């Protein structure tokens, strides 16, 4: 038994550390197309103090530390690219405080989105948080580390905009707090302190998020989904502009997919509405359809696909079974809303070339300021050729997105390098300085966001 294993066992307990092949194998793979990368140890800490002690030990040993939440990024962002210790943070799953009047809750970062939703449903049904379009096992901390977004993105932006404070274990082991919680024990705001948002979007390269003050928003009594359908992709941006002007939707998503065939080449604009009464909902629906979208209906270029549907949690995992193969990965890009037509055509073209049924999706983030656009490529985990095709399609999409002026969201290492190659030189140099300052031994999730 080596000293690192012994040290980890002393910190987290024998039951929650492993250096055995079975655990290392399991954590060597994520759900996407990334090649396996084996950690040397896996540990599941329960507290920020345990995380801190592990990070201090890893610094002494010059050993990589890779934080892992739900492992849903698909892009290999929590694979141990340089070996070391994979920290499974899902035992840090406590809901610490609910402040109803202040509309926030303080949670440990390893708590799942499913647990938060369930907790609010039982304890504060008039409040909600933004669930990402991911399985409910996705964690709050992991989602922030990749700049996630989900429902409520239209009114409130990225999930990383929806926080009031953070607790983070720095790469040197100090436990540090951001926001009003740094002044005491109140978690109500990040501002107006100097901006130290160094931890979101870095995929754990600058520290490990351990606690979060999560903003909550009004959860109206009635939720529904309406659908507007158009055939011409060029109409989508102007329709989204009209919809964001009305400002009534809690989520605005456009989907087009080859399967099932009736959906092929059509664009489904999903409009999530909420109201505390039927009258409120009807008012919103009238504003949207009777006033803002009536033109398209009269012209025959658009139509109401559905109205008043229940909103169900998206079962994203089903995408993995489209080819009876257990796998999919997507390129996510943050792009202007006007990018939609070109992005759609790109998805159709690349998918066809790799013999993968196309699936594209765009979610409005903020009041039309940007859009998360995704190109999904399914593969058969048991068929290496299909995995290679999907991986190649992902890489081609990464390159084309940047050529078209988009930015990549939670890119894999391949995409990260493309981004940094194109990045303003001074910005890239600042990234390097920040990383070096925070993580002098380069132990935090090395291999990701490495400035050459």
Residues near another protein (CB under 8 A): 15-16, 18, 20-23, 25-27, 29, 31, 42, 44, 70-72, 88, 90-91, 93, 112, 114-115, 117-119, 121-122, 135-137, 315-318, 320-321, 324-327, 380-382
> Encoding tokens for residue 285?
């629906």
Token pair 């001074």: residue: 426
Alpha carbon distance 325, 345 (integer Å): 25
CA 355 to CA 408: how far, in whole Å?
A: 23
Question: Least distance to another protein from the beta carbon of 392, Å?
Answer: 20
Q: How far is the CB of 380 from another protein (least distance, A)?
A: 7
CB of 273 to another protein, least distance (A): 23
Nearer to another protein, 71 or 302 (CB): 71
- Read out DSSP for 321-372? GTTTSEEEEEEEEEE-GGGHHHHHHHHHHHHHHTT---EEEEEEETTTTEEE
Q: Which is nearer to another protein, 274 or 316 (CB)?
A: 316
SS3 263: helix
Q: Output the smallest distance, CB 451 to another protein, in A.
A: 31
CB 17 within 8 A of CB 41: yes
Nearer to another protein, 10 or 321 (CB): 321
Contacts of 410 (CB under 8 A, 6+ apart): 73, 75, 77, 146, 147, 203, 332
Residue with tokens 């002098």: 440
CA distance 391 to 385: 10
Cis amide prior to 260 (ω within 30 degrees): yes
Least separation in angstroms between residue 60's CB and another protein is 25
Identify which of residues 191 and 318 has a Cβ nearer to another protein in the complex.
318
> Cβ of residue 2: shortest distance to another protein, in angstroms?
17
Nearest to 215 by CA among 377, 107, 354: 107
Nearer to another protein, 33 or 292 (CB): 33
Choice between 139 and 244, CB closer to another protein:
139
Residue 424: is it exposed, middle or buried by C-beta count within 10 angstroms (0-12/13-18/19+)?
exposed
- Count of C-beta atoms within a 10 Å radius of residue 392: 15
Residues with Cβ within 8 Å of 342's Cβ and at least 6 positions away in sequence, in order, are: 404
Burial grade of 243 (CB within 10 A; 0-12, 13-18, 19 or more): buried
What's the min distance (Å) between Cβ of 223 and another protein?
Answer: 16
Q: Which is nearer to another protein, 183 or 315 (CB)?
A: 315
Structure tokens, 4: 């690192």
Long-range CB contacts for residues 426-434, cutoff 8 Å, separation at least 24: 434/198, 434/206
Nearer to another protein, 90 or 354 (CB): 90
Shortest distance in whole angstroms from residue 175 CB to another protein? 22
- For another protein, the closer of residues 119 and 188 by Cβ is 119
Residue 269, beta-bridge partner list: 228, 254
By beta-carbon proximity to another protein, the closer residue of 136 and 148 is 136
Q: How far is the CB of 390 from another protein (least distance, A)?
A: 14
Task: Quote the least distance from Cβ 287 to another protein, whole Å.
Answer: 33
Q: What's the CA gap between 372 and 364, in Å, rounded?
A: 7
């Amino acid at each position: 038994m080596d000293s690192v294993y012994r040290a980890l066992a002393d910190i987290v307990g024998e039951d929650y550390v492993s250096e055995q092949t079975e655990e290392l194998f399991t954590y060597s793979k994520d759900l996407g197309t990334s090649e396996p990368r084996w950690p040397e140890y896996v540990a599941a800490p329960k507290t920020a103090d345990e995380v801190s002690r592990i990070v201090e030990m890893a610094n002494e040993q010059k050993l990589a530390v890779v934080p892992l939440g739900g492992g849903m990024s698909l892009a290999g962002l929590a694979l141990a690219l340089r070996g070391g210790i994979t920290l499974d943070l899902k035992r840090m799953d406590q809901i610490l405080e609910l402040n109803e009047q202040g509309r926030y809750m303080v949670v440990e970062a390893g708590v799942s989105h499913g647990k938060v939703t369930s907790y609010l449903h039982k304890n504060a049904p008039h409040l909600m948080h933004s669930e990402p379009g991911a399985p409910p096992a996705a964690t709050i901390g992991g989602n922030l580390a990749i700049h996630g977004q989900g429902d409520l993105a239209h009114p409130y932006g990225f999930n990383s905009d929806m926080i009031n404070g953070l607790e983070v274990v720095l790469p040197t082991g100090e436990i540090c707090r951001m926001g009003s919680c740094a002044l005491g024990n109140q978690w109500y705001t990040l501002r107006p302190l100097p901006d130290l948002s160094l931890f979101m979007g870095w995929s754990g390269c600058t520290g490990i998020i351990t606690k979060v003050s999560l903003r909550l928003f009004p959860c109206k009594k009635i939720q529904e989904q309406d659908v507007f359908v158009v055939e011409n992709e060029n109409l989508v941006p102007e329709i989204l502009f009209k919809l964001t002007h009305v400002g009534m939707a809690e989520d605005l998503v456009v989907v087009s997919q080859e399967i099932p065939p009736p959906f092929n080449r059509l664009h489904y604009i999903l409009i999530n509405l909420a109201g505390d009464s039927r009258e409120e909902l009807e008012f919103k629906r009238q504003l949207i359809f009777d006033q803002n979208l009536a033109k398209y209906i009269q012209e025959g270029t658009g139509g109401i696909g559905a109205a008043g549907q229940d909103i169900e949690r998206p079962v994203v995992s089903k995408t993995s079974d489209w080819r009876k193969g257990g796998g999919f990965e997507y390129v996510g890009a943050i792009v202007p809303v006007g990018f939609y037509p070109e992005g759609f055509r790109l998805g159709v073209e690349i998918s066809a070339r790799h013999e993968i049924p196309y699936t594209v999706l765009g979610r409005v983030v903020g009041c039309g300021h940007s859009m998360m656009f995704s190109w999904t490529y399914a593969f058969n985990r048991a068929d290496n050729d299909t995995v290679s095709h999907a991986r190649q399609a992902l890489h081609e999409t990464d390159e084309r997105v940047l050529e078209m002026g988009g930015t990549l969201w939670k890119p894999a290492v391949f995409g990260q390098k493309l981004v940094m190659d194109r990045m303003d030189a001074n910005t890239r140099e600042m990234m390097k300085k920040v990383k070096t300052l925070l993580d002098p031994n380069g132990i935090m999730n090395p291999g990701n966001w490495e400035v050459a």
